[in-house]
């Protein structure tokens, strides 16, 4: 999906279903990421985001997005995620936050507009999705800690050197978006 | 090695990303300072679980799901259990006449004071060593794998010096006897809570195709979400396949109860078709008849044991007795068969002290306990 929406006021009522699908593709993963930060549960996050898009489509004639779809979507999804969380028991929320791999960044007091980190995540996801298909696949596979380059090569039916080339090009492409990760804390995860 | 105009050695970066942590730290230290910084950011970005999770999502699939008329899942969670006990009696009788050899059984406080479980939690390692776990601290096996023990938990941290391949294939078994419960953290970050009288066999390091463990007894899992790396639990001849989720498997006898809390699992009974589970549902596999049935339940009721809470829903005293036997490593018998049918509804927090527990249960007014060593006898209330 190469087309991108310029973020700004948008009138959903004039969109065709196909256009709406493009919008969905552009924002889905990022909105799920944002929701999962709150819910700690990717399945719940996906449900919340899907429901958001379904609702928006159903109400597209009456929705007015004055500033940007990004901000509008983020606030809606965060609200839903917080509501979902409230319905859970306190203990289960605590357990979910401690035991899964999502870093516990705390629950935002108000579902506000996207900050720099949020936007970087969106840019990164967009950039990865815009990579040529083979490169994108190599990049996504390489994030799995159990996949070595030899494994990726086998999975994609290419040589290890080609895998490395893809990764090198992918990282070079993404380097300008790396600002949000702190440079001085050399944080290495144990695999 | 190719040099970029900015002197960044990308080839080297790519190679470094694949190295195990210990080796990598030393090699990164040898890079020029500015490269070290860039590499550190790159590495963090690569490992960022939020990004990894997001990029795994199948957007096309999600679009199809959203715009097809299927009701979205309704997530229910269990609210904190009320700590009250209501006894509902069915088949409760006054038995004045019969008394079972009373002199042999004494006051429970005296007989059970200082009762402790007879066996210890044991870890049988992949190279055949048996380690008894009764203390906290760090235990190092001779093959170099470090096992970290925390108050009631066992965590595996693979020694940095060890190459990735060295540990594949080593299977450890954790045995949790009656009277104990234990928590284990697996090498992928998933957590397993084991109930009393349970066992788990697991690889010290998961292989890249799938994550597979085997259990006996009862275990509650919280599995790290990874759609590319399925997680499977074998229990007897059945299998539970998982996609990143939390669920409980209970298999003390021939019957298997699989309860889903969040996510999605596929339960495959022996020689039968798989059954898909949604949250707050449970499949019950009858080991004798071979029949599998699914029903809606409140998942929280079935995983309460991991917090040492006992949730009783029309629970017979016979079943309660079995639970107490496993939880405290005692033997329970009934002075009269009719007592087995007394039903309980409610929730209790189980304490470490069995005498307190039994006193609590006596409050219901229809039973009385007596004990001899670790044998407990249940008598009708008015027996002295």
Q: Based on the structure, what is the number of domains in chain B? A: 3
- Give the containing element (helix H, strand E) for A79: helix A69-87
Q: Check pLDDT > 60 for residue B121.
A: yes
Q: Check pLDDT > 70 for residue B173.
A: yes
| Same domain? B22 vs B50 | yes
Query: What pLDDT does B81 receive?
Result: 24
CA-closest candidate to residue B294, choices B257, B244, B253, B251: B257
pTM above 0.95, yes or no: no
Of residues A26 and B364, more confidently modeled: A26
CB contact under 8 A, B78 and A92: yes
Contact B347, B311 (CB under 8 A): yes
- Interhelix angle A116-129/A17-39, rounded to 10 degrees, is 130
Q: Using CA atoms, how far apart are residues B98 and A62, in angstroms rounded to an integer?
A: 78
Whether A69 contacts chain B with CB within 8 A: no
| Same domain? B362 vs B323 | yes
Q: Which of B271, B306, B341 is the last residue of a domain?
A: B306
Sign of CA dihedral B11, A186, A104, B157: positive
CATH code for the structural domain at A1-115: 1.10.1740
Those residues whose C-beta lies under 8 Å from the C-beta of residue A59, and which sit 6 or more positions away, are: none
ipTM (interface predicted TM): 0.84
Query: What pLDDT does B68 receive?
Result: 59
pLDDT confidence bin for A129, thresholds 50/70/90: very high
In chain B, which residues have their Cβ closer than 8 Å to the Cβ of A164? 11, 14-15
Give the count of beta carbons closer than 10 Å to the beta carbon of residue B161: 10
CB contact under 8 A, A89 and B80: yes
Residues 38-67 of A with CB under 8 A from B: 41-44, 46-47, 49-51, 53-54, 57
Whether A5 contacts chain B with CB within 8 A: no
Q: Is residue B16 part of a domain?
A: yes
CATH code for the structural domain at A131-191: 1.10.10
Strand partners, B344: B87, B315
Q: Is residue B70 part of a domain?
A: no
Q: Using CA atoms, how far apart are residues A106 and A97, in angstroms rounded to an integer?
A: 9
Q: Is residue B62 part of a domain?
A: no
The CATH number of residue B168's host domain is 2.60.120.1440
In chain B, which residues have their Cβ closer than 8 Å to the Cβ of A141? 228
Domain carrying residue B145: 118-306
Contact B314, B343 (CB under 8 A): yes
CA-closest candidate to residue B199, choices B228, B171, B225: B171
Q: Where are the domains of chain A?
A: 1-115, 131-191
| DSSP state for residue B59 in the 8-state scheme | H
Over the stretch A80-110, which tens digit does the pLDDT of each residue have?
998 887 776 444 544 444 434 333 344 445 5
In chain B, which residues have their Cβ closer than 8 Å to the Cβ of A46? 57, 62
| Same domain? B179 vs B233 | yes
Q: Using CA atoms, how far apart are residues B275 and B237, in angstroms rounded to an integer?
A: 15
Strands B130-133 and B137-140: unpaired
Q: Which of B41, B62, B244 sits opposite A178 (nearest CB)?
A: B41
**Low-confidence winner among A20-24, B335-339, B346-350 (lowest mean pLDDT):** B346-350
Report phi then psi at A160, rounded to 5: -60, -40
- With CA atoms as reference, the chain B residue closest to A83 would be B75
Give the count of beta carbons closer than 10 Å to the beta carbon of residue A54: 14
Whether A77 contacts chain B with CB within 8 A: no
Q: Percentage of residues in chain A with pLDDT exceeding 90?
A: 44
Whether A176 contacts chain B with CB within 8 A: no
Over the stretch A47-71, which tens digit does the pLDDT of each residue have?
999 999 999 998 888 888 888 899 9
- Top residue of B21, B23, B35, B45 to mutate, by most chain A CBs within 10 Å, is B45
State the maximum Cα–Cα separation within chain B, in Å, rounded to a whole number. 99
Residues 119-138 of A with CB under 8 A from B: 121, 124-125, 128
């Amino acid at each position: 999906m190469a087309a991108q929406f310029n973020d700004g006021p948008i009138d959903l009522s004039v969109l065709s279903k196909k256009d709406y699908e493009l919008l969905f593709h552009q924002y889905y993963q990022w909105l799920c990421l944002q929701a999962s930060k709150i819910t700690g549960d990717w399945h719940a996050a996906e449900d919340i985001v899907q429901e958001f898009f379904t609702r928006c489509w159903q109400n597209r004639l009456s929705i007015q997005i004055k500033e940007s779809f990004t901000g509008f979507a983020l606030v809606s999804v965060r609200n839903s995620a917080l509501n979902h969380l409230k319905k859970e028991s306190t203990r289960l929320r605590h357990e979910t936050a401690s035991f899964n791999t999502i870093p516990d960044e705390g629950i935002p007091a108000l579902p506000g507009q996207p900050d720099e980190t949020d936007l970087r995540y969106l840019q990164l996801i967009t950039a990865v999705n815009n990579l040529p298909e083979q490169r994108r696949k190599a990049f996504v596979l390489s994030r799995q800690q159990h996949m070595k380059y030899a494994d990726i090569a086998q999975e994609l039916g290419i040589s290890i050197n080609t895998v490395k080339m893809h990764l090198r090009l992918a990282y070079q492409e993404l380097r300008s978006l790396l600002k949000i990760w702190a440079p001085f804390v050399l944080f290495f995860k144990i695999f | 090695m190719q040099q970029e105009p900015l002197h960044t050695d990308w080839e080297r970066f790519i190679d470094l990303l694949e190295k195990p942590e210990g080796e990598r730290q030393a090699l990164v230290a040898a890079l020029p300072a500015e490269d070290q910084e860039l590499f550190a950011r790159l590495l963090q970005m690569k490992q960022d679980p939020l990004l990894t999770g997001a990029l795994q999502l199948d957007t096309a699939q999600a679009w199809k799901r959203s715009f097809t008329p299927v009701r979205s899942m309704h997530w229910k969670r269990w609210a904190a259990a009320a700590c009250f006990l209501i006894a509902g009696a069915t088949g409760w009788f006054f038995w004045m006449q019969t008394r079972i050899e009373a002199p042999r059984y004494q006051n429970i406080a005296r007989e059970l004071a200082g009762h402790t479980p007879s066996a210890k939690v044991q870890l049988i390692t992949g190279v055949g060593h048996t380690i008894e776990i009764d203390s906290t601290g760090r235990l190092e096996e001779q093959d170099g794998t470090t096992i970290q023990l925390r108050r009631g938990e066992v965590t595996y941290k693979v020694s940095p010096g060890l190459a990735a391949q060295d540990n594949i294939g080593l299977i450890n078994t954790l045995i949790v006897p009656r009277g104990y419960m234990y928590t284990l953290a697996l090498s992928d970050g998933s957590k397993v809570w084991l109930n009393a009288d349970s066992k788990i066999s697991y690889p010290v390091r998961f292989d890249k195709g799938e994550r597979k463990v085997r259990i006996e007894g009862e275990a509650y899992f919280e599995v790290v979400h990874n759609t590319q790396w399925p997680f499977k639990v074998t229990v007897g001849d059945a299998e539970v396949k998982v996609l990143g989720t939390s669920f409980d498997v209970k298999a003390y006898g021939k019957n298997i109860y699989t309860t889903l809390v969040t996510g999605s699992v596929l339960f495959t009974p022996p020689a039968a078709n798989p059954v898909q589970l949604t949250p707050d549902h449970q499949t019950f596999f009858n080991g004798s008849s071979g029949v599998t049935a699914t029903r809606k339940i409140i998942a929280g009721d079935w995983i309460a044991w991991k917090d040492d809470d006992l949730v009783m829903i029309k629970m017979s005293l016979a079943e309660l007795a079995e639970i107490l036997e496993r939880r405290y490593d005692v033997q329970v018998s009934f002075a009269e068969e009719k007592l087995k049918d007394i039903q309980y509804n409610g929730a209790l927090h189980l304490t470490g002290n069995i005498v307190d527990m039994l006193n609590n249960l006596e409050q219901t007014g229809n039973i009385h306990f007596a004990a001899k060593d670790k044998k407990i006898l249940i008598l009708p209330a008015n027996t002295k």
